[in-house]
Chains A and B, each alone.
Chain A
Amino acid sequence: MSTRSIDNMRWGGYHRLGAVLGLGGWLLVAPLAAHHAIVAKFNPDEPVALNGTITKVDWANPHVHVLMDVQGAGGIANWAIELESPVDLDAGGWSPDAVRLGERITVEGIAARDGSLQAWAYSMTRTDSGAAVFDIPDPVPPSAPALSGPAPRWPDGQPRLGPPPGESGYWGNPTASVLVEDGVDVAANSDGRLLNLDDAPRVAPLQPWALALYEFRQREFLSSDPAFLRCIPPGGPRQFQLPYGIQFVEQRDRERIFVLVGSGNRNWYFIYTDGRDKVGRVEGDDDNPLYYGRSVARWEDDTLVVDTRGFNEDFWITNGGLPHTDRLHLIQRISRPDFNTLEYEVTIDDPGAYTRTWTASWTLEWIAGEEMPVYFCQDNRP
């Protein structure tokens, strides 16, 4: 694990392999990265190797920390070693009880940019035995072929966006974690960081100010991401690009769909299918701009066409930091061409930030028989 680059750290689980498949027209160089902006805090060019004893295990989202005392020239220093999320470590078979306080460990990783005693761990091993702890095994292909077959349908023939009766599952493994206009080839990692900043004008038809802001965010390692700083929700297309999934709960007799957002803060919001206009909630909050916006939808044959407006400007609609304004209007076309596949196409109409409307699309995979992992960004502190 010590030989991996930061971009090869990943969410864990074989199904993440889906991220490299089915790309439409553009290249994702390092598709398996777990983490947005680890490089915002840690410097991949500054490796560290540490030996010491464990003083604390802090098992909380978004990331687990192991504190260790390290004997140095100036005495004992207490380092904070950052690891994957509890969700991913748990999926890898680990629990906080895997180590004990006072145990000697060896850590290889990269140091914090700010010079504090923090490191992101590429590897953590027991010093005595050399056995790895809190690693996540390499992805393995699924042993059984994935479920296939046609999309399940309601009795009236409309496709189901959730499981058929008696089953469970959710949508995960997005094939894209970066928002790029369909047909454009640019190299980016899964944080949304371009490998070559000169590609920025090609990502989307940005207005000059929006291009400048996008480039600034990129140069700063995406460290101004409000989701990074304050757990601000991943509204807009971003929620369909994150690792912990999406669920649609279709309450048909009430003509509404609950969208359950597995990443971020495990929020929910409504898509109304009752033919209403986007007038806000009943008491009237038309002018209150939202993180998830106001969504109404109708079915066009087998495609749910979701029309969303009413966004605020306080969040990022993409991992890479493409700007938007409160004039943002999304048309999202969601369909299930087969049991296993959700096609997501978003048309971005924001005359405040872009020179024309533009479209991006990707797919998500049905994670059969599982629940969305329980993940709360705000879990970290008391």
Chain B
Amino acid sequence: MTHRTFAALAVLLLSTICAPPLLAQRGRGAVEDAEVRPAPRWPDGRIRLDAPPGETGIWYGPGGAVPGLADWDNNPNPHPFPGRPKVSEVPFQPWARALIDYRDVNQFEPHARCKPSGGIRQFVTPYGNEIVEMRELERVYIFDVGGPHSFRVIYMDGREHPEDLTPSYYGHSIGHWEGDTLVVDTVGFNEKFWIDRRVTVHTRQLRFIERFTRTNYETIEYVVTVDDPGAYTEPWTSGVYLRFEPDLEMFEYICQEQNQAADLMVGTEVESFFGSSPIVP
């Protein structure tokens, strides 16, 4: 799906299917504007993505009923973000389409074995996130709580992606601000995780463009373009709402504590080379 068709579809959806809940959530009406705080800003006017000083709060993505960047065709209550495609509208290559059908039956997701999972998967995980811009360091950190309890780094210092990138779970992210929108460009993903809850297939060729727009205090419009010629016939775009829950803080969550698939996490004797020294560090 091109940007243009995405925009057209967005308008169509906006005006028909999900207009009432959408408008309420987006706070675009005069009544809502009076009730919802504006997004916090730094002294120079730039949008701030975490809680301002003296306050706390964390971001939650959509719940587990949202599989990720596309909705199942038979879902009667798709996530109300404008322009989200149904699975049948995603330009999958045949193997990728077959893979998500398999995943839907066999939900053997690496995330459940504590694997770090980049992209939107950070936001469709329980217990929330923080998005912290350290302006002096010229980087944005996105911390996850559930799952790997790790973090990704977005470089804001104008650097480019390195050429000899080692594929990784979170990839290599560079970002910049376009008005009130943080635009993040990520490449260099490995293929050892699912980038959402099973409907977005990716390969090492993935380029993942995220646009974070904090439209008010409690909402981020999170729009993603998936550009992966290894899995799709053309780039496509979708999005979700992230919801800010004030007065909460992130806490310790260690997936490994009670992981019942430790054998699958650090090795077993099932094959000769399982049982590797699953050693610290």
Measured in the bound complex, the distance between the Cα atoms of B256 and A253 in whole Å is: 32
Partner of B278, one of A117, A231, A243, A266: A231
**Contact, CB under 8 Å: B137 / A381:** no
Query: Is chain A's interface secondary structure helix, strand, loop, or mixed overall?
Result: loop
Complex contacts, B163 vs chain A, CB 8 Å: none
Residue of A nearest to B168 (CB): A374
**Contact, CB under 8 Å: B275 / A266:** no
Q: Does B132 contact A (CB under 8 A)?
A: yes
Q: Does B114 contact A (CB under 8 A)?
A: yes
**Contact, CB under 8 Å: B276 / A263:** no
**Contact, CB under 8 Å: A268 / B267:** no
Least CB distance from A94 to B in Å reads 11
Within B239-281, which residues are at the interface with A (CB < 8 Å)? 247-252, 254, 256-257, 259, 262-269, 272-281
**Contact, CB under 8 Å: B254 / A267:** yes
Residue of B nearest to A66 (CB): B273
**Contact, CB under 8 Å: B264 / A376:** no
The total of chain B residues at the interface (CB under 8 A) is 54
**Contact, CB under 8 Å: A229 / B110:** no
Q: Does B98 contact A (CB under 8 A)?
A: no
Complex contacts, B56 vs chain A, CB 8 Å: 282
Q: Does B67 contact A (CB under 8 A)?
A: no
Q: Does B86 contact A (CB under 8 A)?
A: no
Q: Which of B13-21, B75-83, B147-155, B212-220 contacts A (4 or more CB under 8 A)?
A: B147-155
Q: Does B50 contact A (CB under 8 A)?
A: yes
Q: Which of A45-53, A57-65, A136-144, A339-347 contacts B (4 or more CB under 8 A)?
A: A57-65
- Chain A window 67-103, contacts with chain B (Cβ cutoff 8 Å), 1 for yes, 0 for no: 1000000000011101000100010000000000000
Residue of B nearest to A42 (CB): B277
Q: Does B192 contact A (CB under 8 A)?
A: yes
Q: Does B175 contact A (CB under 8 A)?
A: no
**Contact, CB under 8 Å: B278 / A38:** no
Complex contacts, B269 vs chain A, CB 8 Å: 116
Residue of A nearest to B273 (CB): A80
Residue of B nearest to A294 (CB): B252
- Chain B window 52-73, contacts with chain A (Cβ cutoff 8 Å), 1 for yes, 0 for no: 0100100000000000000000
Least CB distance from A76 to B in Å reads 13
**Contact, CB under 8 Å: B192 / A234:** no
Q: Does B85 contact A (CB under 8 A)?
A: no
Given contacts A82-B277, A258-B143, contact A281 B249 (CB under 8 A): yes
Q: Does B84 contact A (CB under 8 A)?
A: no
Complex contacts, B178 vs chain A, CB 8 Å: none
- Chain B window 97-140, contacts with chain A (Cβ cutoff 8 Å), 1 for yes, 0 for no: 00000000000001001111000000000000000101011100
Complex contacts, B114 vs chain A, CB 8 Å: 231, 265, 378
Least CB distance from A139 to B in Å reads 18
**Contact, CB under 8 Å: B151 / A268:** yes
Partner of A269, one of B168, B252, B259, B265: B252
Partner of B166, one of A63, A65, A90, A249: A90
Complex contacts, A41 vs chain B, CB 8 Å: 275, 277
Least CB distance from B44 to A in Å reads 14
Complex contacts, B51 vs chain A, CB 8 Å: 254
Complex contacts, A214 vs chain B, CB 8 Å: none
From B134, B149, B252, B264, name the one whose CB has the most chain A CB atoms within 10 angstroms: B252
**Contact, CB under 8 Å: B141 / A62:** no
Given contacts A165-B136, A265-B149, A314-B257, contact A376 B272 (CB under 8 A): no
**Contact, CB under 8 Å: B281 / A260:** no
- Chain B window 220-251, contacts with chain A (Cβ cutoff 8 Å), 1 for yes, 0 for no: 00000000000000000000000000011111
**Contact, CB under 8 Å: B53 / A254:** yes
14 examples of A-B residue contacts, CB within 8 angstroms: A37-B277, A62-B278, A62-B280, A62-B281, A116-B269, A228-B279, A229-B266, A231-B262, A231-B265, A234-B281, A254-B53, A260-B151, A265-B114, A378-B114
Which positions in B face A, CB cutoff 8 Å?
50-51, 53, 56, 110, 113-116, 132, 134, 136-138, 141, 143, 148-151, 153, 166, 168-170, 192, 247-252, 254, 256-257, 259, 262-269, 272-281
Which positions in A face B, CB cutoff 8 Å?
35-38, 40-42, 56, 58, 62-63, 65, 67, 78-80, 82, 86, 90, 116-118, 120, 162-163, 165-166, 168, 225, 227-234, 238, 242-244, 249, 251, 253-255, 258, 260, 262-270, 280-283, 285, 290-292, 314, 319, 371, 374-382
* 10 other A-B residue contacts (CB within 8 Å) besides A36-B279, A116-B275, A381-B263: A41-B277, A63-B277, A90-B166, A117-B272, A229-B262, A230-B278, A242-B281, A254-B53, A263-B281, A283-B248
